[in-house]
Amino acid sequence: MSEGFAARTVAAANGVAQDAAFGAVIAPIHLSTTFKFPAFEQAGPYDYSRLGNPTRDALADTIAKLEGGARAVMVASGMAALDLALSSLRPGDLLVAPHDCYGGTHRLLSFRAARGHYRVAFVDQTDPDARAAALAEGPKVVLIETPSNPLMRVVDIRRITADAKAAGALAVVDNTFLSPALQQPIALGADLVVHSTTKFLNGHSDVIGGVVVAADKAVGEELAAWANTIGVTGSPLDAYLTLRGLRTLFVRVEQQQRNAAVLAAFLEAHPAVARVHYPGPATDPGHALA
């Protein structure tokens, strides 16, 4: 089985027909907040849904497999996912982030920095000199967002994660725009991958959610424990809907790429358009990395 076909199979079928109670083909929505213990002081696999929930775990397992990660943690939004991924930072620690990152990301990092939670350096990650200068400051985390939202800037994940690790930093990649259908940052050296599942993973504009995928299981377990502690884990219904959307991820992304290429070519040739921000056309500076 080819790698591409295997990934499509995971998206379409992971967790299907796993219901041991009634044989349901689709993973049920487990809305219960609490779960029965088998006996006094003997906990079962689940006890309280903030800590663990079968529906949420089915989605987390599927996304972890698609990203090639060891553990995924489902949370209430993409911003909650990013905040969770950066939760190891302490006052005085330096975070290196993209200068043109998503507006919500820029706001979160700026607000955290203003409150003294950590320091932030916004850097043009396409500039090797700027990257080198930032890494020389000894950051604890390097955040990568590629393609960037909304200007579609592309950077070299493999190179930046290697440089980050050489500097002793954790490499975190926001993979929201390409999704694991087109890009797997863990295979390129990332320690953590974050998504706003609101967008391409769900794909139906009816759920807000987020996920953090860890390359190392122990790191993933630590993030899961912290997500439970601060109460940002996602709801079972949102997990069910996102898993439903994930089933069609590959076919949706393939059609979206075809549509986007047609639109980009049309706009690039239009005399009223000065610049097209899309890494497909050869005129885009990110084309060589696309």
> Which strands sit side by side in the sheet containing 71-75, from one edge to the other?
71-75, 210-214, 192-196, 170-174, 141-145, 94-98, 119-123
Cα 282 to the center of its chain, rounded Å: 28
Q: Is it the case that residue 290 has pLDDT exceeding 70?
A: no
| pLDDT tens, residue by residue, 235-286 | 999 999 999 999 999 999 999 999 999 999 999 999 999 999 888 765 555 5
pLDDT number for residue 27: 85
Task: Determine whether 240 is an active site residue.
Answer: no
Task: Determine whether 244 is an active site residue.
Answer: no
Instruction: Give me the sign of the Cα torsion angle 198, 202, 206, 212.
Output: negative
Q: Kindly name the residue from 112, 159, 165, 199 that is annotated as catalytic.
A: 199
3-class SS of residue 202 = coil
CATH number for 3-249 (one of 3.40.640.10, 3.40.50.1370, 3.30.40.10, 2.60.40.1150): it is 3.40.640.10
What are 96's strand-pairing partners? Answer: 121, 142
Nearest-angstrom CA–CA distance, 78 and 91: 23
Q: Which residues are CB-neighbours of 10 under 8 A, at least 6 positions away? A: 62, 65, 66
Task: Determine whether 159 is an active site residue.
Answer: no
Nearest-angstrom CA–CA distance, 72 and 153: 26
How crowded is residue 267: how many other Cβ atoms within 10 Å of its Cβ? 15
pLDDT number for residue 84: 98
Q: Is it the case that residue 289 has pLDDT exceeding 60?
A: no
Q: Is it the case that residue 55 has pLDDT exceeding 70?
A: yes
pLDDT number for residue 284: 57
Task: Determine whether 174 is an active site residue.
Answer: yes
How crowded is residue 115: how many other Cβ atoms within 10 Å of its Cβ? 9
| pLDDT tens, residue by residue, 183-202 | 999 999 999 999 999 999 99
Mean pLDDT taken over the chain: 93
**Identity (one letter) of the amino acid at 23?**
G
Q: Kindly name the residue from 57, 83, 100, 174 that is annotated as catalytic.
A: 174
Q: Kindly name the residue from 8, 50, 244, 247 that is annotated as catalytic.
A: 50
| pLDDT tens, residue by residue, 124-167 | 999 999 999 999 999 999 999 999 999 999 999 999 999 999 99
CA distances from 167 to 42, 102, 140, 164 (A): 46, 25, 9, 5
User: Mean pLDDT, to the nearest integer, of 171-188?
Assistant: 97
For residue 4, the number of C-alpha atoms closer than 13 Å in the C-beta half-sphere is 4
User: With bands split at pLDDT 50, 70 and 90, how would you rate the model's confidence at 1?
Assistant: very low
Q: Read off the tokens for 251.
A: 């076919």
DSSP classification of residue 233: B
Cβ atoms of residues 111 and 120 within 8 Å = no
Q: Where are the domains positioned within the chain?
A: 3-249, 251-289
Q: Kindly name the residue from 102, 118, 240, 278 that is annotated as catalytic.
A: 102
Q: Is it the case that residue 288 has pLDDT exceeding 80?
A: no
